[in-house]
């Protein structure tokens, strides 16, 4: 049966308007959200995207008389601590990479905020050692090299699960000097991070490896306390509405690193080594 395209568009518009209407009726009143301290989880240029995306989702589903107030926790905390504070009810929302364990412990907004740009990793190596990496074609080849990674990064368990030899660091900044000093052979940095990293630490003689990429599934979600499942559903609805009307696209592509990473991902021409994800 043929259906008029105009009718289909009208039906879709009605559906999303009805979602907004239902949400507005369901969440009338005042809403106060406490988030991690600004710039404590990542640089300001990317961190503001998550706050703005959350605000957008809440406003898309707000009642006409609802007042939404967003404040930030007074102390700077690392991401692991921020997740714990959400579980305790001190913070309301945190954004983080997902895992089966986290999805079981939190009310999870299953909307991939970074659209996969963080799931492709390029290698940062010592600039004069490209020839060592030219022979790498498979995961087995890569397992002969040591990767530098953060002690509490969720990526670390993925690397361990895939048999990559690890050298861990509690702090991010010293890792680039550790790479220069040959404590390990490479770091794996996401598409939105890698250019800034190599430019920032260019004086250490580091460069982006030319032929390889690592890929693994790692969606970035909003996480809330298990008792806030209704609010999590509201945020998901708001993000879907914002995605449909283009306002979330406008936020995402306004971040230069995100826009450049998206373009890189669309045109990626590298030997991609796929890593498997642990089930816990």
pLDDT, residue 1, reads 36
Q: How many CB atoms lie within 10 A of CB 215?
A: 15
**Tokens 């449909």 belong to which residue?**
244
**pLDDT band at 12; cut points 50, 70, 90:** very low
Given a cut of 50, whether residue 53 has pLDDT beyond it is yes
pLDDT, residue 35, reads 95
Higher pLDDT, 193 or 111: 111
Non-local CB neighbours of 242 within 8 Å, separated by 6+ positions: 53, 56, 57, 60, 248, 251
pLDDT, residue 100, reads 87
pLDDT, residue 9, reads 44
**Residues 220-235: what's their mean pLDDT?**
97
Distances (CA, A) of 245 to 13, 36, 240, 255: 9, 28, 9, 19
pLDDT, residue 187, reads 97
Q: What is the pLDDT of residues 143-183, one digit of tens each?
A: 999 999 998 888 999 999 999 999 999 888 899 999 999 99
Is the pTM higher than 0.85? no
pLDDT, residue 23, reads 37
Q: How many CB atoms lie within 10 A of CB 238?
A: 26
Domains of the chain: residue spans and CATH: 5-114+220-245 (3.40.190.10), 117-217+268-274 (3.40.190.10)
Please name which of 164, 121, 120 lies closest in space to residue 141, comparing C-alpha atoms.
164
Half-sphere CA count of 264, side-chain side, radius 13 A: 21
Q: How many CB atoms lie within 10 A of CB 280?
A: 9
Per the CB < 8 A criterion, the answer to whether 116 and 213 are in contact is: no
**Residues 77-94: what's their mean pLDDT?**
93
**Residues 92-99: what's their mean pLDDT?**
93
**pLDDT band at 280; cut points 50, 70, 90:** low
Q: How far apart are CA 112 and CA 94, in angstroms?
A: 14
Lowest mean pLDDT, pick from 42-56, 134-148, 206-220: 42-56
Non-local CB neighbours of 225 within 8 Å, separated by 6+ positions: 86, 87, 89, 92, 106, 107
Given a cut of 80, whether residue 114 has pLDDT beyond it is yes
Per the CB < 8 A criterion, the answer to whether 130 and 206 are in contact is: no
**Residues 217-235: what's their mean pLDDT?**
96
Q: What is the pLDDT of residues 121-147, one digit of tens each?
A: 999 999 999 999 999 999 999 999 999
What DSSP letter does each residue of 177-244 carry, written as one string?
HHHHTTSSSEEEEEHHHHHHHHHHTGGGTEEE-SSEEEE----EEEEE-GGGHHHHHHHHHHHHHHHH
**pLDDT band at 5; cut points 50, 70, 90:** very low
Per the CB < 8 A criterion, the answer to whether 44 and 116 are in contact is: no
**Residues 211-230: what's their mean pLDDT?**
96
H or E element at residue 73: none
């Amino acid at each position: 049966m043929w259906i008029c395209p105009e009718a289909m568009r009208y039906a879709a518009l009605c559906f999303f308007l009805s979602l907004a209407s239902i949400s507005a009726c369901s969440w009338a009143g005042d809403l106060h959200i406490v988030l991690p301290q600004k710039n404590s989880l990542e640089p300001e240029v990317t961190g503001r995207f998550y706050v703005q995306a959350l605000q957008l989702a809440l406003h898309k589903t707000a009642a006409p008389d609802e007042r939404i107030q967003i404040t930030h926790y007074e102390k700077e905390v690392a991401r692991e601590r921020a997740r714990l504070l959400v579980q305790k009810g001190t913070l309301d929302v945190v954004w983080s990479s997902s895992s089966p364990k986290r999805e079981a412990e939190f009310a999870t907004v299953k909307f991939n905020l970074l659209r996969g740009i963080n799931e492709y990793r390029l290698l940062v190596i010592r600039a004069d050692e490209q020839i060592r990496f030219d022979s790498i074609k498979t995961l087995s080849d890569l397992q002969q090299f040591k990767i530098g990674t953060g002690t509490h990064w969720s990526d670390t368990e993925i690397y361990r699960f895939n048999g990559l030899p690890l050298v861990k660091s509690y702090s991010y900044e010293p890792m680039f000097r550790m790479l220069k000093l040959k404590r390990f052979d490479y770091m794996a940095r996401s598409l939105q991070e890698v250019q800034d990293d190599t430019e920032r630490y260019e004086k250490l003689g580091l460069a982006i490896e030319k032929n390889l990429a690592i890929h693994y599934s790692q969606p970035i979600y909003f996480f809330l306390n298990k008792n806030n499942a209704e609010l999590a559903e509201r945020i998901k609805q708001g993000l879907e509405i914002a995605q449909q009307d283009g306002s979330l696209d406008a936020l995402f592509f306004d971040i230069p690193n995100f826009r450049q990473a998206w373009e890189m991902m669309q045109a990626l021409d590298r030997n991609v080594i796929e890593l498997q994800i642990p089930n816990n």
